[in-house]
Amino acid sequence: MQVKAFRGPNTRTVLNRIREELGPEAVILSTQNIRENGKSSCEVTAALESPANNGGSKNAAFPGWQAMHQEWSMIKEHMLSVLKPQADYALLTPRQRQSLEYLEREGMTAEVAMHLWRQMKNAPDISILEPLRGVVPTKPWQEGHWPGKIHALAGPHGVGKTSSLLRLALNMRKEHPTRRICLVNADQQHGKGRLLLQHYAELGGLPFFDVRTAEDWRELLCEAKRFDKIFIDFPGLSRETSLQTWLAEKEFELPKDACVHLVLNPHYATSCLKSFAKRFHVPSTASVIWTKLDEAESYGSMINLGYISRLPVSALCFGPCLSACLVAAKDQLLWKMIFTHRLPERKQEEDGR
């Protein structure tokens, strides 16, 4: 991987240099504002996964890199198709074998199946849940697990980021009425989400920020001490734009203790989920929130993404209402849903028992 730091008078100038030298495939690793000798400047660290081309420009991508990457993916698939039959399921106990075969029917990839088989083939006493917890960990959306102040939701268009943000905020407001909760819209591409956040902020008497510029962002961070929790709605992005690049272009610098939660639903193919996980990844990415679970036919893709990203699941969303259709992700709830298709009970029903 080729890593290089670029410095210039402002972020836009630096990003233009990065595109010229490293090309559109460059990944932004970090941005920071520097002040030296009384002058402000911006330093951006970028990386290029492709090796340099020694035959041309020293920073040009290796010719045919994309084709080589696609070819390797095909080779990997062929290797798995050859190796998979060599995994002798007879080495597993009947219960382990039945569970593994069920997950494969649910859409779990052969790569994950091989990983689980290796974990269980010499361990007849363990349940499949034991290696699965390592593939899809959970970190429930509870104060003890997520004490940080700033939580941003990111993901593609239409996955339910805005409704998930409102559910998190309303649930916290219900459980902790004295908490000072702030709602922030950073999505200027779709006015519907902004209007929805603003509407519920007014109904609930919650502070609302509409962040459009770097100055708005700095004002929000200055005001952060007034609040106990800040929920930020990031925009869905075009296929050519990563979240890290968008943050750099906007000059939005996330505090070190901020958490970004990737919002997805299991309707997407595993290849799409893998692309989303890469495009919306930033150093602050901390968990996955799964949405629209009541509309899904199967849940194998949730296991695939866990294997790819190693991100814990923090919350599960289902159903149309905002007040009772989000629950903290716990092992028992997650595995019951994946293996039996039983959705978690609505929170209001749990509270009434």
Q: Left if phi > 0, otherwise alpha if psi is -120 to 50, otherwise beta: which for 251?
A: left
For residues 43-64, give the mean pLDDT: 55
Res 42 pLDDT > 70 = yes
The reported pLDDT for the residue numbered 348 is 47
pLDDT digits (tens, 9 = 90+) for 168-222: 999 999 999 999 999 999 998 777 888 999 999 998 899 999 999 999 999 999 9
Q: How confident is the model at residue 33 (pLDDT cuts 50, 70, 90)?
A: confident
More confident residue, 22 or 195: 195
Using the structure block, give the residue that is written with the tokens 């901020």.
258
Res 117 pLDDT > 80 = yes
The reported pLDDT for the residue numbered 301 is 95
Smallest CA-to-CA distance from 315 within 203, 155, 180 is with 155
Res 306 pLDDT > 50 = yes
Res 70 pLDDT > 60 = no
CA 3 → CA 22, 32, 249, distances in Å?
10, 16, 19
Q: How confident is the model at residue 69 (pLDDT cuts 50, 70, 90)?
A: low
For residues 299-321, give the mean pLDDT: 94
More confident residue, 62 or 237: 237
The reported pLDDT for the residue numbered 73 is 57
pLDDT digits (tens, 9 = 90+) for 328-342: 999 999 999 999 999
Res 133 pLDDT > 90 = yes
The reported pLDDT for the residue numbered 352 is 40
Task: Flag whether the pTM goes above 0.85.
Answer: no
Smallest CA-to-CA distance from 302 within 112, 89, 101, 74 is with 112
pLDDT digits (tens, 9 = 90+) for 214-269: 999 999 999 999 999 999 999 999 888 899 999 998 989 999 899 999 999 999 99
For residues 34-42, give the mean pLDDT: 76
